[in-house]
């Protein structure tokens, strides 16, 4: 019997905006709690504590004229150029995002037409059999798009898919919420191909949605400031403490279940590429995962981090990290042929997913 094809990542790309926003940018902001009460601490103390917990020193913001589809287009073009792949050979373009094209100072979501269709048009792809669609799935959106591409390829429905994660979170954050310091803008992409060599590709994956008790840990709500002028505007809000507890409890379990599904041990894994949400949280997730196997966590040696200089760019963090490592831009980290790696994420929904991939 002929074996099913495997899904192989043959190219990666990313776009990192040029505008650098360091923590000092927020020194003159007025911060309030969820009840609209001014936070009594000095902003310098708020920023110091924030960096201590999250590891974030700076983040990138899109240029004033750029939207999420522009960033996604740049990442896609980067992947296509670095691979020499014919864009007309793409069967699917899947774009993960959460807020569509939000223009500067508008705070309005624009997803008609889809970002995928916009990017396909800007790439000047003529082939109507190249299907373009969007995937809103919280921060795990790009990993989930990779999983969907794998299903298409394994079923024989597709030979080649372009998977993009792009977001401009700077456009939908409340300037009066301390959590606004977390977020940045960016885009990452990968091209996945069908292969029957059996030497590399996606081994397995797993996804869970914990909606019943946790769906509203990340949601949209008005500004914390009663004096904010845009009364109709909504901003991304999170219950940080409960989200942290949820992630450190459930993400290690999902990753272990994904390894079990593949018949692998954690010692088989060379790298863990996890959503860049919070440095402390990611470290605890890794520590708990290794503790399940009775092993000492190697920390940064196995888990590369880009959050200190890119912040949390939602769906873009994992593909951007993968591209930086693949192109030798993350000092001390490389993915060699035969290495088995984990790609994992957690975010709004609450959704968690993981992919095990052999390079």
pLDDT at 229: 73
Number of domains within the chain: 2
Of 170, 199, 228, which residue constitutes the final position of a domain? 199
Per-residue pLDDT tens for 224-273? 988 887 667 899 999 989 999 999 999 999 999 999 999 999 999 999 99
- What pLDDT is stored for residue 197 in this prediction? 81
- Burial code of 339-353, b = ≥16 C-beta within 10 A, e = fewer? ebbbbbbbbbbbbbb
Confirm whether 124 is domain-assigned: yes
Same domain, yes or no: 285 and 256: yes
Q: Please state, as a whole number, how many other Cβ atoms lie within 10 Å of the Cβ of residue 84.
A: 7
**Full residue range of the structural domain in which residue 15 is found:** 6-199
**Res 52 pLDDT > 50:** yes
On whether the CB atoms of residues 165 and 185 are closer than 8 A, the answer is no
Note the pLDDT of residue 4.
79
Closest by alpha carbon to 354, among 259, 224, 237?
A: 259
Domain-terminating residue out of 173, 199, 225? 199
Residue 1 is predicted with a pLDDT of: 46
- Compute the average pLDDT of residues 330-344: 94
Answer whether residue 1 is part of any domain.
Answer: no
Same domain, 91 and 103: yes
Task: Locate 102 and state its tokens.
Answer: 């939000």
What's the pLDDT tens digit per position in 135-153? 999 999 999 999 999 999 9
Model pLDDT, residue 232: 75
Q: Determine what percent of the chain is predicted with pLDDT higher than 70.
A: 99
Cis bond before residue 304 (omega within 30° of 0): no
Q: pLDDT tens digit string along 153-189?
A: 999 999 999 999 999 999 999 999 999 999 999 999 9
Q: Are residues 149 and 218 in the same domain?
A: no
**Same structural domain for residues 229 and 288?**
yes
- Domain end, chosen from 177, 199, 221, is at 199
């Amino acid at each position: 019997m002929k074996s099913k094809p495997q899904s192989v990542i043959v190219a990666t790309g990313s776009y990192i905006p040029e505008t650098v926003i360091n923590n000092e940018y927020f020194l003159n902001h007025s911060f309030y709690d969820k009840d609209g009460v001014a936070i009594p601490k000095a902003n310098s103390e708020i920023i110091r504590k924030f960096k201590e917990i999250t590891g974030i020193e700076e983040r990138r913001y899109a240029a004033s004229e750029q939207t999420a589809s522009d960033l996604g287009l740049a990442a896609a073009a980067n992947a296509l150029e670095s691979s020499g792949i014919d864009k007309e050979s793409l069967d699917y373009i899947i774009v993960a995002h959460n807020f569509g094209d939000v223009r500067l100072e508008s705070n309005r979501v624009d997803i008609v037409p889809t970002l995928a269709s916009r990017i396909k048009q800007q790439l000047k792809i003529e082939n109507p059999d190249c299907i373009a669609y969007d995937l809103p799935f919280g921060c795990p959106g790009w990993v989930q798009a990779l999983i969907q591409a794998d299903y298409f390829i394994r079923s024989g429905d597709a030979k080649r898919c372009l998977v993009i994660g792009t977001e401009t979170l700077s456009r939908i954050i409340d300037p009066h919420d301390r959590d606004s310091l977390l977020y940045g803008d960016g885009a990452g992409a990968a091209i996945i191909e069908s292969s029957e060599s059996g030497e590399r590709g996606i081994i397995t994956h797993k996804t869970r949605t914990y909606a019943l008790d946790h769906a509203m840990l990340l949601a949209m709500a008005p500004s914390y400031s009663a004096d904010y002028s845009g009364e109709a505007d909504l901003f991304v809000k999170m219950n940080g403490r409960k989200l942290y507890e949820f992630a450190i409890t459930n993400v290690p379990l999902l990753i272990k279940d994904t390894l079990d599904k593949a018949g692998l041990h954690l010692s088989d894994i060379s790298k863990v590429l996890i959503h860049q949400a919070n440095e402390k949280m990611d470290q605890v997730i890794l520590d708990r995962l290794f503790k399940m196997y009775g092993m000492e966590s190697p920390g940064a040696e196995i888990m590369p981090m880009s959050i200190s200089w890119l912040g949390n760019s939602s769906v873009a963090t994992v593909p951007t990290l993968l591209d930086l490592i693949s192109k030798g831009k993350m000092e001390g980290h490389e993915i060699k042929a035969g290495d088995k790696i984990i790609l994992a994420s957690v975010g709004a929904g609450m959704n968690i997913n993981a992919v095990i991939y052999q390079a």
